[in-house]
Chains A and B, each alone.
Chain A
Amino acid sequence: MKLDVARIRKDFPILEQTVADRRLVYLDSASSSQKPRVVLDAMTDYYETTHANVHRGVYGLAVEATERYEGARDRVARFIGAPSSRGIVFTKNVTEAINLVAHAWGRTNLGPGDAVLLSEIEHHANLVPWLMLAEERGVELRYLPMADDYSLDLSDLDRLVDGVKLVAVTAMSNVLGTLTPVRRLADAAHAAGALCLVDGAQYVPHLPTDVTELGCDFLGFTAHKLCGPTGIGVLWAREELLEAMPPFLGGGEMIRDVRLDGFTPNEIPWRFEAGTMPIAEAIGLGAALDYLDGLGMEAVREHEVSLTGYALRHLTERFGDELTIHGPAEPSARGGVLSLALRDVHPHDVSQVLDQDGVCVRAGHHCAKPLMRRLGVGATARASLYVYNDTDDVDALADSLGSASDFFAL
């Protein structure tokens, strides 16, 4: 099924607005996607009809709120092909999901002399928690390098993975769009006796996801990049791993018993959900997954490959050597993330001109400073595509880049 973008656009209230009498061209979904009305309605309906704290009261509202919150957990499990919802932990975002693993699993299993294999194309969220652990415990960090075609260079994988306890990689680069060979990396990790963590922040919103097929042990992703609300993310982990992990944050909900001289932690997954959780956001996340499944994730992927191909072709034809696109040339090897460098015009200046035309792109280092250094740039202007974007948006981007090119011509 092909996506009907004109119909999809009507589902997103924010896209009705105009900027300078032109339609809003939102090309920053890799930062945060827009929200369809069904997600907003689900959250409002919850607050208007059902809200009470979960897992607490015996009264009707509290029971119903708990059912809806736990229903969202089941919904997440179905969306990523998890064997059961006991492996689904709600977090604030991917950053917290990875920090949870670094604290609860890392501090139990990693010490001086242990190693973690990362890659040099990671987002800071999958670098800094491990750098903190390296500083604190003397854990060795190794990095898979990026090849010149923007893929991960696996030529030295056997040597790098040897002796590590964890391989932690992104499934899709938020700067390059590169899809990484997660299955191969997970298999290599397991063959080396290590576990595999996948940062799915950019992958899960855009491709059909099945944790069994990916073969990983931990997967983190966030709701606000897949049509859901901010403030809620997910850590999926194999249940036996969660069972063996101590709590991350301490407080209410995560305990079974508290005495003045100690405590007994709760069962999984609630052991990792301290304090009152973002209940409405969990329900909004569930509604977002319903929405995406309604479109069909295969269709979403097909749409983005096609639109990314269009964008790569048209931008290259129009700007030639004036425009560098940092990322794989082949649409099937990448997601719809286009990191652009227009001559030597600074990305801030490019995006300032684009903003005048209502074209929203992200300018900066995209929380991936080691990768920016590898690319030899301080920043890029990044346009990213999603279900509500079409060729008109890409054409508007191209026209606006043309204006920027003219404005900053020497």
Chain B
Amino acid sequence: MPGLEDLYREIILDHYRNPRNRGELDAPPAHRVEGFNPLCGDEIIVYLDVDSDRIADIRIAGQGCSISQSSASMMSSAVKGRTTEEARAVTRAFKAMMSIHESSLDGEPDGLVGGADGSGGGDGDVKLGDLEALRGVVKFPVRIKCATLSWNTLAQGLDEATEPV
């Protein structure tokens, strides 16, 4: 049985205790997107300030467990200042990591995901960095939705923010 240390890596607990980019932005002009996990009641609100295809600012509000909150915090750090395309690539890479079958976990090279099974869609060079710490969540299938909640919400926000006018 996987242990608690597989799930709650120190960097996860750090983001949980000291969440980055916590707060709100005025919407509009910022885009405000809500995400819910109906199973556990977690809810997350992502505020996106997209300026000529670049995420100029991002804020996270809402409440949830340590995994959903730390994943949101890490997500905000990972995409802030990036172009929307880069943010989408990180999102795909992160979600690919979250969908790896448990049996393929051993021997997975650190830092590189996506591409190999085609699901990464050419994001093989995306570096997940700190986000790698969330890899252990895959061993706890019921918690995967906690980790992906903020990313799904971000993806929805990016779609809305970059819709052709």
* Cα separation A77 to B69 with both chains bound (whole Å): 50
- Does any Cβ of A come within 8 Å of B40's Cβ? yes
- Does any Cβ of B come within 8 Å of A73's Cβ? no
Interface footprint category on B: 20 to 34
* Cα separation A410 to B65 with both chains bound (whole Å): 15
Inter-subunit contact A346/B65 (CB<8 Å) = yes
Counting residue pairs across A and B whose Cβ atoms lie within 8 Å, the total is 49
**A-chain residues with CB within 8 Å of residue B90 when the two chains form the complex:** none
Within the complex, what minimum Cβ distance (angstroms) separates A144 from chain B? 23
Instruction: List 28 contacting pairs A-B, 8 Å CB cutoff, sorted by A.
Output: A20-B1, A346-B64, A346-B65, A347-B40, A347-B65, A348-B42, A348-B64, A348-B66, A348-B143, A348-B146, A349-B67, A352-B7, A356-B1, A356-B3, A356-B4, A363-B40, A364-B39, A364-B40, A365-B40, A365-B41, A372-B41, A378-B42, A378-B43, A378-B64, A379-B42, A407-B8, A408-B66, A410-B17
Q: Which residues of A contact B (CB under 8 A)?
A: 20, 346-349, 352-353, 356, 363-365, 369, 372, 378-379, 407-408, 410
* Cα separation A407 to B3 with both chains bound (whole Å): 13
**B-chain residues with CB within 8 Å of residue A20 when the two chains form the complex:** 1
The 8 Å CB contact of A352, one of B4, B13, B41, is B4
Inter-subunit contact A349/B40 (CB<8 Å) = no
The 8 Å CB contact of A364, one of B7, B41, B66, is B41
**B-chain residues with CB within 8 Å of residue A363 when the two chains form the complex:** 40
Within the complex, what minimum Cβ distance (angstroms) separates B136 from chain A? 12
Whether A349 contacts B63 in the complex (CB less than 8 A), given A378-B41, A378-B42, A407-B8, comes out as no
Within the complex, what minimum Cβ distance (angstroms) separates B14 from chain A? 11
Within the complex, what minimum Cβ distance (angstroms) separates A369 from chain B? 7
The 8 Å CB contact of A348, one of B1, B4, B13, B67, is B67
**Closest chain B residue to A353, Cβ basis:** B4
Whether A378 contacts B67 in the complex (CB less than 8 A), given A348-B40, A348-B146, A363-B40, comes out as no
**Closest chain A residue to B7, Cβ basis:** A352
Within the complex, what minimum Cβ distance (angstroms) separates B15 from chain A? 14
**A-chain residues with CB within 8 Å of residue B7 when the two chains form the complex:** 352
**B-chain residues with CB within 8 Å of residue A364 when the two chains form the complex:** 39-41
**B-chain residues with CB within 8 Å of residue A372 when the two chains form the complex:** 41
Inter-subunit contact B4/A407 (CB<8 Å) = yes
**B-chain residues with CB within 8 Å of residue A356 when the two chains form the complex:** 1, 3-4
**Closest chain A residue to B64, Cβ basis:** A346
**B-chain residues with CB within 8 Å of residue A410 when the two chains form the complex:** 17
**B-chain residues with CB within 8 Å of residue A346 when the two chains form the complex:** 64-66, 69
